A = this chain, B = another copy of it.
Amino acid sequence: MEETTEITIDRLDPEGKARRKEPVVREVPFTIFLNGKELATLLCTPSGLNHLAAGFLLSEGLIHKKEDIKRMVLNEKGWYIQVSVNEGATHQQALSPGRLISSGCAGVTSFYRSVDARETTPIDSPLQMSREQVLTLMKEFQQKSSLYRETGGVHSCALATPEKIKVFAEDIGRHNAVDKVFGECLLQDILTQDKILLTSGRITSEILIKTAKRQVPIIISPSAPTDLTTGLAQKLRLTVIGFVRGKRMNVYAATDRVT
C-alpha cells in the first residue's frame, strides 16, 4: 500500500509563489477489533498494519506471546483488522481510558499503570556496545528513513544488534513505529532481549516502558529523555543513550553497557 501521495501546494519563497506537486505522508484511521469487539482506532501510516496490530496488543498487555493470537484478518480497503485471541490471554484487561495509578506512585519515578509494574522486571543482560558502534548504527538508521527524507512527516524505529539493523518501521506516530517493530518481532519470532532499540523520537516514559516490557537492554535516540524516563531506566537497568548527534552522545542510565 502506498505510504505517500502527491498533492498540489503553493510554494512561497523570496522569488514569489509557485504551484507544484509535493509528496505528503498518508494517514489513515485503522481500527482493531479484538474477538469481535471494537478495541481502538489508531491514526497511522498504511504499512505493516499486521505488525502494528500485533505490537499494539502486545504493548497494551492484551497478548503476551505469538500463540495467544488465533487469527488475524486484515481488511485493507476498510482500514480495519479482526484479531482473535485466546480468551485467557488478555487477563480480562480492558483498555481503560482512566489509567490506573499504582499504589507506589507517591514518588514520581514510579509506574502509573499497575499493568506496567506487573509486566516489567529489571533487565539482566550482558549486552554491551562501543561508542563507535552507537554512531555507526545511528548513521545506518538515519539513512534507512526514506519516508522521512521524502515527506518530513514521520518517525522511525528499528531493532538492531550492535552491528546491524534487523527490523525497521516508519509511521506518523512515535508509538506506532515502535509497535510495528515489536509486532514484527512477535510474528516473525525475532528475539528482542539481545537487541537494541533505535527511535527517532523523544524517549518519554511510555516508550521506555514499552521497551522494558520486551526486555530490550539498550535504547538509542538522537533526541532527549525526560526525568521520569531516566528514573525508571535506572530502576529497570535499561541503558538510555540520548542526543546521539555528530560524534557525541549522553548516557543517562545503566551506563556500564557502553564501553
Contacts and interface: CB of A to CB of B under 8 A. Distances in A.
A99 interface: yes
Contacts of A41: 98-99, 101, 112
B95 A227 contact: no
Given A10-B255, A98-B40, A172-B204, A153 B224 contact: yes
A94 B38 CA distance: 15
Contacts of A9: 250-252
Interface residues of A, number: 61
Contacts of A227: 4-5, 7, 24-27
Contacts of A26: 108, 226-228
A69 to B, nearest CB: 19
> Residue among A108, A226, A247, A249 with the most chain B CB within 10 A?
A226
A117 to B, nearest CB: 13
Contacts of A152: 223-224, 243
A206 B243 CA distance: 28
Interface in A9-30: 9-14, 22, 24-29
A66 interface: no
Interface in A173-193: 173
A159 to B, nearest CB: 22
Interface in A146-179: 151-153, 172-173
Given A26-B108, A153-B223, 15 more contacts: A11-B250, A12-B131, A12-B251, A12-B258, A14-B247, A25-B224, A27-B226, A40-B99, A41-B99, A41-B101, A43-B204, A96-B97, A152-B243, A153-B226, A172-B202
